Chain A
Amino acid sequence: EAGVAQSPRYKIIEKRQSVAFWCNPISGHATLYWYQQILGQGPKLLIQFQNNGVVDDSQLPKDRFSAERLKGVDSTLKIQPAKLEDSAVYLCASSPRGVNTEAFFGQGTRLTVV
């Protein structure tokens, strides 16, 4: 079974530029998450999708971050414009339908804003 795929693995941009990350979850997983992991900290949930609907985006900085899940499968996370404090690893995860099921994580995209 293929895992969660993310691209790119690494990205360096200048502040005020825009950037987009892509995630392809495990086939058949209804739930998709984007987490932000700042160096030295635990992952923090940015947004959760159930199929193509948003379940929780309360911690997403909506003035600069946006996310969508196309047809309930792939997802993109965009930052525009980026700030220095956005430097982090962005992790995508997916889980099957059900309560308290295991989340499977991708390898992440390491973003450096200079």
Chain B
Amino acid sequence: AQSVTQLGSHVSVSEGALVLLRCNYSSSVPPYLFWYVQYPNQGLQLLLKYTSAATLVKGINGFEAEFKKSETSFHLTKPSAHMSDAAEYFCAVTSGAGNMLTFGGGTRLMVKP
């Protein structure tokens, strides 16, 4: 069984500030981890994914995430927030051949001018 916990359903930052969105996972087998972003009335778009290569993963729009096995975490960061980053962010895990994604509850990022 696998699960994902995203700490903080809402995160608010000022424009230009560091963005940190937290994700912890549980998986009985080595996981593959993903971050997706969802803009209002849109589907989910992949930001980045961890597939057991480098533990620091760089994604689109300046986001990156670091896989820490000892902490079972895959937190998402961006050095400087932009207004266009305001959206809902979902962490997800999959493991095994099924490719079925298990999502966290999501974190809504708000960026203040």
- Residue positions of A touching B, CB distance < 8 A: 4, 31, 33, 40-45, 48, 55-56, 91, 93, 95, 99-108, 110
Contacts and interface: CB of A to CB of B under 8 A. Distances in A.
Interface stretch (B12-20, B64-72, B73-81, B103-111): B103-111
B100 A33 contact: yes
A56 B98 contact: yes
B99 A91 contact: no
B42 interface: yes
A24 to B, nearest CB: 13
A105 B44 contact: yes
A91 to B, nearest CB: 6
B41 interface: yes
Contacts of A101: 99
A100 B44 contact: no
Contact of B104 (A40, A42, A55): A42
B45 interface: yes
B56 interface: no
Contact of A99 (B46, B99, B102): B99
